[in-house]
Amino acid sequence: MQRRLYPGRDFRRAQNIEELRQMARRRLPNFSFEYVEGGADDEFTLGRNRTIFESVTLQPRTLRDVGQRSLERSFFGRSAQLPFMIGPTGFNGLLTRDGDLHLARAAADAGIPFVLSNASTTSIEDIAAVDGIRAWMQIYLYRTRDHVAKLVERVKRLNLEAIVVTTDSAIFGNREWDKRNYAKPLQLDLRNRLDVLCHPEWIWDVLVPDGVPRFRNLGDLLPPGKDSVKGAASALAAELDPTLSWDDIAWLRDIWHGKLIVKGMIHPDDARLALQYGVDGVVLSNHGGRQLDGAVSALETLPEVARINQGRMEIFLDGGFRRGSDIAKALLLGANGVLIGRAGLYGLAAGKGPGAAHAIGILRSELDRTLGLLGCSSLEELTPDLIHAAPWRALAERIRS
């Protein structure tokens, strides 16, 4: 009998993130799935974000008591139940109604942080009201800095823990496969309009009765009546600021005294600068392969950044995480934690809030199993000797020396 993934629609039967991905593909219209899935140009970096994990091989210990295991990890001195969190992803209202709210509730139930995207279709106030939530806010440093300052004030009023400023999108990446769905900017071509009609469940969930979802944290930045996901695109593109520099991080540091995390760096020298500018954490990221094609993966630059850092900042990374073993490899190489993007969205698209919770549960179970099979009882026992591949092991050992 030929092997195949589960072909049905019951997200609870998904054994792994890839099965949730296939369910999401079947449930979503092509244009919506392509927005989640696609990368820049030839998608070399998008693919490398996954294949890089294959080069990090593990060397487990045996005859160790792993009957009791803990996946708990501390971020900024506060405990989290898992060493990963839900990272910022925009336009989630195009996957399911109140998509950000579903993700936030799943994160709160799992005891992990949730990072709300600046381009979300749920307000930061609604996210902050979720019971048990540990919410962080992502921002872009748009040209209209008054808008940014007002958003920071909203975050202050809600007493949120951290701001995550994304810095790798000052120029918009070339996402060709996404563009091919449109006859002209944000007007679907005939093929995709017909495809939408073939997804009545999605139409009733997302478009009825209020139409295309609207941005809830960009109101004063957008022209009147242009706050929908469709209408705001040109206004947001005009707000991207290619003059963005470390001076702008200094400005943000002056007006925000909570935890400040810079997301989107990939070069070790930028980690040195982050330390100089009083940043509390960094997210190593190539924007999920959606910006510069040909960029290295975050995992590749992680060991050198960890060596430079020497524990002074929190180091997070994203890009290509689909298995619990992927997360373990990042922790072995010096990460404090991991941001999950597409993996959570596949669960959300496949099964709304419960589907997102199932995605988190899959990663939790895989990570717990990996930890035990490595011969470890806690994340603190993940040491470089558990890496077999010589170059990676040497890099990891430099961190500890």
175 is known to lie in a ligand binding site: yes
The answer to whether the annotation marks 344 as part of a ligand binding site is: no
351 is in an annotated binding site: no
Kindly state the helix (H) or strand (E) to which residue 316 belongs, with its residue range: strand 314-317
Q: Is 35 annotated as a binding residue?
A: yes
N- to C-terminal Cα separation, the chain:
51
Task: Find, among 308, 303, 360, 290, the residue nearest to 330 by Cα.
Answer: 303
Residue 79 annotated in ligand binding: no
Check whether 166 is labelled as a binding-site residue. Answer: yes
Q: Are 273 and 246 spatial neighbours (Cβ–Cβ below 8 Å)?
A: yes
60 is in an annotated binding site: no
287 has binding-site annotation: yes
Residue 364 near residue 82, CB atoms below 8 Å? yes
- 342 known member of a binding site: yes
Angle between helices 342-373 and 99-110 in degrees, nearest 10: 20
Q: Is 94 left (phi over 0), alpha (psi -120 to 50) or beta?
A: alpha
Does residue 318 have a known ligand-binding role?
Answer: yes
Q: How many helices (H) and strands (E) does the chain have?
A: 16, 12
Instruction: Give the separation between CA 7 and CA 13, rounded to whole angstroms.
Output: 10
Q: Residue 180 phi/psi, 5° resolution?
A: -65, -10
Does the annotation list 89 as a binding residue? yes
Would the annotation count 341 as a binding residue?
Answer: yes
Residue that has been written with the tokens 């998008």 in this structure:
46
Q: Does 267 qualify as catalytic in the annotation?
A: no
Q: At what angle do helices 298-309 and 324-332 cross, to 10 degrees?
A: 30
Q: Render the burial of 61-72: b for 16+ CB within 10 Å, e for the rest.
A: eeeeebeeeebe
90 known ligand binder: yes
4 contacts: CB under 8 Å, gap ≥ 6: none
Q: Which of 102, 199, 257, 287 is catalytic?
A: 287
Binding site annotation covers 140?
yes
Reported in sequence order, the residue ranges of 113-266 that DSSP labels E, i.e. its strands, are 114-116, 135-140, 162-166, 182-184, 187-188, 259-265
Q: CA distances (Å), 150 to each of 54, 135, 254, in order?
A: 44, 18, 14
Give me 205's structure tokens.
């969930």
Question: Radius of gyration of the chain from Cα atoms?
Answer: 21
Cα-flanking dihedrals φ and ψ of residue 166, to 5°? -90, 125
**73 known ligand binder:** no
Q: Which run of H or E residues covers position 79?
A: strand 78-80
- Tell whether 319 is in a known binding site: yes
Outline where DSSP puts E strands in 81-140.
84-86, 114-116, 135-140
Task: Report which of 238, 237, 239, 246 is spatially closest to residue 264, judged by C-alpha positions.
Answer: 246
Binding-site entries for glyoxylate: 35, 140, 175, 263, 287, 290
The residues that are catalytic are: 287
Binding-site entries for FMN: 88-90, 117, 138, 166, 285, 318-322, 341-342
Binding-site entries: 35, 88-90, 117, 138, 140, 166, 175, 263, 285, 287, 290, 318-322, 341-342
